[in-house]
Structure 1
Amino acid sequence: MPARRPASASPSPFTPLDFQLVLLRRMADHNPDLVEDARHELGVTIAGMREANRRWQAMLHSPRSRAAASRYRSVLGAPESVSARRIGDLECEALLWPVPLWPSLRFEVMVAPNGAVWNEWLVRAPGATGPVLRTVEDLTPWSCTVDEVARAFAPARPLEGTAPTRWGLAFSAPDASGVRHDCAAEFTWGLLQRVAVAGRRP
């Protein structure tokens, strides 16, 4: 369990614990109970979570804001791993950081050759075993990532997210009885939040 922050600790610098609170704050709209449990695990008050989010937003919008990749390094430290990744014709770097709340996941930042960040979300850690996804019932909140759902229920179609940190996927999946459904999954920071079942397919 991550170390609790002493009540008298200074609010600076912004720490990996604070960053986890930012991730949780964005997930609270969909899964408040899970967020509440995670907040208690971290030993942080509701006010502490709000303050972390306020400070993060202030960093993002500051006139002296760092480039995104530099900001993540300053908050999370050196990446656990850096690897080359090809997207189309371009080589980029994939930076991974551990996230104590989700030990089998990593926070991934994709950096373009010019230093711009193309993507930032949670992915399964290299070598970690992901969930078995066969039916709608397997798609429980926080159980899987965008890539895992897209692979399990291919072909999946991307949906426009309702916020910069949100993604969506449309796909067809069977339920436990074998009846197929049209589904729309919503993700925050790359982690599954909920699935809407739109109807049955013949």
Structure 2
Amino acid sequence: MSPDRPTARPLSPLDFQLVLLRRMADHQPDLVEDARHRLGVSIAEMREANRRWQAMAHSPRSRGAAQRYRSVLGAPETAVRKKIGDLECDALLWPVPLWPDLRFEALVAPGGAVWNEWLVRAPGAAGPVLRTAGDLVPWSCTVDEVARAFAPVRPMEGTAPTRWRLAFTPPGGQPHIAEFTWGLLQRVQLPDTRP
């Protein structure tokens, strides 16, 4: 490396929050703008954090996703063994200061592969009461909370990586689709019924 070229600082938990926000900006630009101001960063800094994250994730020398999260977020706040169906994994949880009642969760399989990575409600934190589609306010709830409140739901393919969709019908209502980014609700829409 050239002596006059500065060394890039390591990615930080703040940078990771900017990565989360960058993907959410497609659906909730106003909420992202408010969050960015609360964090005291510019649009250029948000884009740069995302660029560096993507470069790290797609580098030929890239570590596995679990190691990447540990290198950026530090040691997990909590690590618990979880059983999902017949499969066991480790659920690693990190705090996300922008959303104090949420945690970033990585589900890590035996051998180190990350099966899933998203925001979940923090252990012991109360989630919102969800009874109607009107209760589904952007950034208020997670995939799991909507799935439990409106069971049975139908998982649908997301429109991009880190995105999920759930089809559900609230009691006495019509079908809806809830869209999530990094596991956090972004919007709720009626399904497209065009032929």
Question: Do both proteins adopt the same fold according to a TM-score greater than 0.5, normalized to the shorter chain?
Answer: yes
Aligned to 2:116: 119
The root-mean-square deviation of aligned C-alpha atoms, in Å, is 1.2
Q: Give the counterpart of 1:22 among 19, 23, 45.
A: 19
Aligned to 1:196: 189
Deviation at 1:138, TM superposition (A): 0.3
2:40 partner letter: G
2:148 partner letter: R
Greater mean deviation of Cα atoms: 52-61 or 81-90: 81-90
1:185 matches 2:178: yes
Q: Give the counterpart of 1:37 among 34, 38, 44.
A: 34
**Aligned residue pairs, count:** 186
Could you tell me which runs of 5 or more consecutive residues in structure 1 were left unpaired when the two chains were aligned: 1-9
CA–CA distance in structure 1, aligned partners of residues 188 and 9 of structure 2: 38
Q: Counterparts of 1:151-170 in structure 2 under 5 Å?
A: 151-170=148-167
Contact 1:167–1:188 (CA under 8 A) maintained in structure 2: yes
CA–CA distance in structure 2, aligned partners of residues 25 and 110 of structure 1: 22
Q: Counterparts of 1:40-119 in structure 2 under 5 Å?
A: 40-119=37-116
Specify the SS of the correspondent of 1:198.
coil
Aligned to 1:172: 169
Contact 1:181–1:198 (CA under 8 A) maintained in structure 2: no
2:58 partner letter: H
Could you tell me which runs of 5 or more consecutive residues in structure 2 were left unpaired when the two chains were aligned: 1-6
More strand by share: 1
Aligned to 1:7: none
1:151 partner letter: R
Specify the SS of the correspondent of 1:173.
coil
* Seq. identity, %: 77
CA–CA distance in structure 1, aligned partners of residues 10 and 98 of structure 2: 20
Greater mean deviation of Cα atoms: 183-192 or 88-97: 88-97
Give a deviation string over 1:25-75, Cα, whole Å, max 9, x none. 000000000000000000000000000000001001111101110000000
Aligned to 1:6: none
Give a deviation string over 1:12-34, Cα, whole Å, max 9, x none. 11000000000000000000000
Greater mean deviation of Cα atoms: 189-198 or 37-46: 189-198
Deviation at 1:198, TM superposition (A): 3.5
Normalised TM-score (structure 1):
0.90
